[in-house]
Amino acid sequence: DTAVSQTPKYLVTQMGNDKSIKCEQNLGHDTMYWYKQDSKKFLKIMFSYNNKELIINETVPNRFSPKSPDKAHLNLHINSLELGDSAVYFCASSLGDNTEAFFGQGTRLTVV
């Protein structure tokens, strides 16, 4: 059983399009995150949700809109895609403060 799963694994799309990435965790965790990993492998937090409520938005452009329909799901919708959005996006979840974060397998987004 996959603890944190995200779909799709690969996404190739043209500039200006809108796309979504879905994430689900079956660990019963209250906290979920989105991270962006760029070509230099830097892992940067984008959003943090706790029990469906937005806790952190790390100055991400408002073209990125996370949505948490319930605490097991955190989806990421991106409008008007730009070349610089190309990266691997990781969803993660944790039990709460100061606990291990479990990562999904990542979604490699390529904007052409």
The three-state secondary structure class of 106 is: coil
Residue 55 near another protein by CB under 8 A: yes
Contact segment (CB under 8 A) with another protein among 11-19, 39-47, 64-72, 79-87 equals 39-47
Q: Binding residue for another protein (CB under 8 A) from 18, 20, 44, 80? A: 44
Q: Indicate if the alpha-carbon torsion angle 84, 85, 89, 91 is positive or negative.
A: positive
43 is a site residue for another protein (CB under 8 A):
yes
Half-sphere exposure at residue 103, Cβ-oriented, CA atoms within 13 angstroms: 12
Q: Does 97 bind another protein (CB under 8 A)?
A: yes
Q: Is 66 in the site for another protein (CB under 8 A)?
A: no
* 7 makes contact with another protein (CB under 8 A): no
**Which listed residue (25, 34, 104, 109) binds another protein by CB under 8 A?**
104
Contact 49, 32 (CB under 8 A): yes
**E strands within the chain?**
4-7, 10-13, 19-25, 31-37, 43-50, 53-57, 64-70, 73-78, 87-94, 101-103, 107-111
Site membership for another protein, residue 89 (CB under 8 A): no
Site of interaction with another protein (CB under 8 A): 33, 35, 40-45, 48, 50, 55-56, 58, 90, 94, 97-101, 103-106
